[in-house]
Amino acid sequence: MPGITREEVSHLARLARLELKPEELEHFAGQLDDIIGAVARVGEVADQDVPPTSHPLPLTNVMRADEVRPSLTPAQALSGAPAQEQQRFKVPQILGEE
Amino acid sequence: MTTLTDLVSYEDALASYDPVMGLEVHVELGTKTKMFCGCSTALGAEPNSQTCPTCLGLPGSLPVVNATGVESAVRIGLALNCEIAEWCRFARKNYFYPDMPKNFQTSQYDEPIAFNGYLDVQLEDGETFRVEIERAHMEEDTGKSTHVGGATGRIHGASHSLLDYNRAGIPLIEIVTKPIVGAGERAPEVAKAYVRELRELIRALGVSEARMEMGQMRCDVNLSLMPKGAEKFGTRSETKNVNSLRSVERACRFEIQRHAAVLGGGGTVIQETRHFHEDTGSTTSGRVKEEAEDYRYFPEPDLVPVAPARAWVEELRGSLPELPLVRRNRLLEEWGISATDMQAILNAGALDLIVATIEEGADAASARKWWMGELARHANESGKALDELPINAQQVARVTRLVADGDLNDKLARQVIEGVLAGEGTPDEVVEKRGLKVVSDEGALTTAVDEAIAGNPAIADKIRGGKVAAAGALVGAVMKATRGQADAARVKELILEKLGVAEG
């Protein structure tokens, strides 16, 4: 059994920049545990001879030629930006004072 | 603000500890388009003019791999004597930072396209050191941040930051060494030689210009010390973005001295990233890795696996160019020069120029002589690299041709080169404008020779007596009289002829 702990959920929440209340941590720990437990059952039927799959299609080497295609205009690129300055995306302070 | 770092002398540090290094080099490929979309990679475009829904990470967009990017990665892997994966995937490296609008970087994790290789590097004295390669994998560059409102553009204290995503998605190959042990006191030298050899290799492959000053090649230096004779590695520091060959060497040296001071004082080295400062040659603490990096890598679901066919890999192996070390050793043999001479040529950045000059028709010795003598001196004085001088291989070859044909002697040739460097035109134009032809008027030369013999009877007697070597003094007198514009070889002939001596 996977046994997802409250601490693991808290860690993941921090990495994902999610602010979770203590009761939510409990709640999600239980839910994630159920989900992972359900998925883990696949391992019971997939034996050593079944390679892990990350893609449903048996395709490899899908590539394009190194040819330039039109880009968006700067105005188009910035059209969804909440804020912009000097034709650049403006983002809030990244780090505070040391 | 700045605190002095305790250091012990380099010699003392090495007397007690063995350094272990790990070098991570990022190379920006010179493809026309980004790794996963068709946006141009051209430098100098206006901000955010080379982006699309894919490299901006907009919903519904899908990446497609750049075939040339994969080919370049395989070629780099082969040149580094790596195995090439039969099958490998991309992975998402998740992190939140505005330099990647997708909130992840598309990279490779446990399935790099190339692994288990080595690169032989040559130190200044010609000694060869083998650096083992752990892996080379494909990934993409990040956008460029500008921090506003703080002091000197630093991120600390900035009120906000501005992002240009033109660079986001440009193909990168990250090349990681295995721990480099056993280099001892030469560790910094090995690090520098490795990065230089890698740069030469990348350029020879034609996959990138690998200009460090332009950020096309960047090095992270991991370094730790362990007590001499120990086998367990110490705690490492990671000095980021060391962006010149000289800095690679200095950063290693500094970290060896700093670690030794920490360990010698009974302290423990903190595992952290550090920043290198060009001006002082020192490093300062960056971000402490308070927890193991947790990027939650998982296979990129939007890209199918890359499976380089063996026949294609072998075809690429067969088409690799002559690799730099092999080429240098071949030229060293052909030119009959020593490892030290070759090293001097490399340090001066003269190798390709000399080869090009030979290809333009100069003989090897003359090509070397001019680039490593007169031109190196000019470069030094003007603080420029040799290839930045306003003279090219073809022009230098023309000067050597004029000397070989007897139209110029060395002294006049130097003046011609000065003229070309001063922007007076091609060698032939400078000869014409400055009137620098060797005096070939036999009448004028004969007169000068007669005068020289008459003025130095004692020397003339010696020559008559068979001391041909003494003719040098008379040649000098004639050259002086003609203000250097005579062909010294012809002058000597005339002198010996006049004195009735056959040249032995």
Beta-strand relationship, B237-242 and B114-122: unpaired
CA distance B40 to chain A (A): 6
Longest CA span, chain A: 57
Q: What is the pLDDT of residue A1?
A: 47
| Contact flag B163-A64 (C-beta cutoff 8 Å) | no
The answer to whether the Cβ–Cβ distance between B304 and A55 falls below 8 Å is yes
Cβ of A68 within 8 Å of Cβ of B46? The answer is no
| B180: DSSP letter | B
pLDDT of the residue at B1: 39
Asked whether B36 and B238 are in contact (CB, 8 A), the reply is: no
Give the side-chain half-sphere CA count within 13 A for A32.
Answer: 17
Which residues on chain B are in Cβ contact (under 8 Å) with A57?
304
Cα–Cα distance between B399 and B343 in angstroms, integer?
A: 25
Which residues does B284 contact at the CB level (< 8 Å), separation at least 6? Answer: B2, B5, B274, B275, B277
Residues of A with CB under 8 A from a CB of B: 11, 15, 17, 54-55, 57, 59-74, 77-78, 80, 85-95, 97-98
Q: What is the pLDDT of residue B2?
A: 45
Report all structural domains of chain A as residue ranges with CATH numbers, in order of start: 1-46 (1.10.20.60)
Q: Tell me if B47 and A65 make a contact (CB, 8 A cut-off).
A: no
Q: Quick one: pLDDT at residue B451?
A: 86
Using CA atoms, how far apart are residues B85 and B315, in angstroms rounded to an integer?
15
Give the residue from chain B lying closest to A84, CA to CA: B162
Q: How far apart are CA A11 and CA B70, in angstroms?
A: 35
- Which residues of chain B neighbour A10 with C-beta distances below 8 Å? none
Tell me how many degrees the CA angle B385-B391-B396 measures, rounded to the nearest 5: 110
Residue B318, C-beta contacts closer than 8 angstroms, at least 6 positions apart: none
Pair of tokens at residue A15: 């990495």
**Measured between CB atoms, does B31 come within 8 Å of chain A?**
yes
Phi, psi (deg, nearest 5) at residue B137: -130, 165
pLDDT given at position B409: 83
What are the tokens at B53? 């829904």
* CA–CA dist A44, B394 (Å, integer): 72
Segment A51-68 mean pLDDT? 89
Query: How far apart are alpha carbons B47 and B45 in whole angstroms?
Result: 6
Which overall architecture, per CATH, does domain B442-498 show?
Answer: Orthogonal Bundle (1.10)
CA B475, CA B453: separation in Å to the nearest integer? 10
Interface of B with A in 117-156 (CB under 8 A): 145-148, 155-156
Domain assignments of chain B as residue spans, ordered by start = 10-314, 348-434, 442-498
Q: B 277-296 residues with CB below 8 A of A?
A: 294, 296
Res B444: pLDDT: 77
Residue A98: the pLDDT is 43
Task: State the residue for tokens 């030119």.
Answer: B335
Q: Distance between CA A26 and CA A5 in Å, rounded?
A: 8
Strands B91-94 and B104-107 turn out to be antiparallel
Considering only residues 302 to 361 of chain B, which have any Cβ-Cβ distance to chain A shorter than 8 Å? 303-308
Using H for helix, E for strand and C for coil, what is the string for B401-466? HHHHCCCCCHHHHHHHHHHHHCCCCCHHHHHHHHCCCCECCHHHHHHHHHHHHHHCHHHHHHHHCC
Q: How many interface pairs between A and B have CB atoms less than 8 angstroms apart?
A: 135
Which residue from B16, B21, B20, B19 is spatially nearest to B228, judged by alpha carbons?
B16
Nearest neighbour of B65 by CB, restricted to A62, A68, A74 = A62
Cα distances (angstroms) measured from residue B124 to each of B192, B340, B344, B365: 10, 7, 9, 22
* Tally of residues, chain A: 98
Query: What is d(CA B326, CA B323) in angstroms, rounded to the nearest whole number?
Result: 5
Yes or no: say if B345 and B354 are a contact pair by the CB < 8 Å rule: yes
Q: What are the backbone dihedrals phi and psi of residue B380, each rounded to the nearest 5 degrees, phi first?
A: -60, -50
Q: B111 CB near a chain A CB, below 8 Å?
A: no
CB contact under 8 A, B147 and A89: no
Tell me the pLDDT tens digit for each residue of A20-46. Answer: 999 999 999 999 999 999 988 888 887
From first to last of its 504 residues, chain B has per-residue pLDDT tens of 345 688 999 999 999 999 999 999 999 999 999 999 999 999 999 999 999 999 999 999 999 999 999 999 999 999 999 999 999 999 999 988 899 999 999 999 999 999 999 999 988 888 899 999 999 999 999 999 998 887 666 777 788 999 999 999 999 999 999 999 999 999 999 999 999 999 999 999 999 999 998 999 999 999 999 999 899 999 999 999 899 999 999 999 999 999 999 999 999 999 989 999 988 999 998 866 545 568 989 999 999 999 999 999 999 999 999 999 999 999 999 999 998 899 899 888 899 999 999 999 999 999 999 999 999 999 999 988 899 999 999 999 999 999 988 888 888 899 999 999 999 999 999 988 888 777 666 777 888 888 888 888 888 888 888 888 888 888 888 888 887 778 788 888 888 888 888 664
**What average pLDDT does the segment A52-78 reach?**
92
> B29 to chain A, minimum CA–CA distance in Å?
12
Across B111-135, b (16+ Cβ under 10 Å) vs e yields bbbbbebebebbbeeeeebebebbb
Residue in A59, A73, A85 closest to B304 by CB: A59
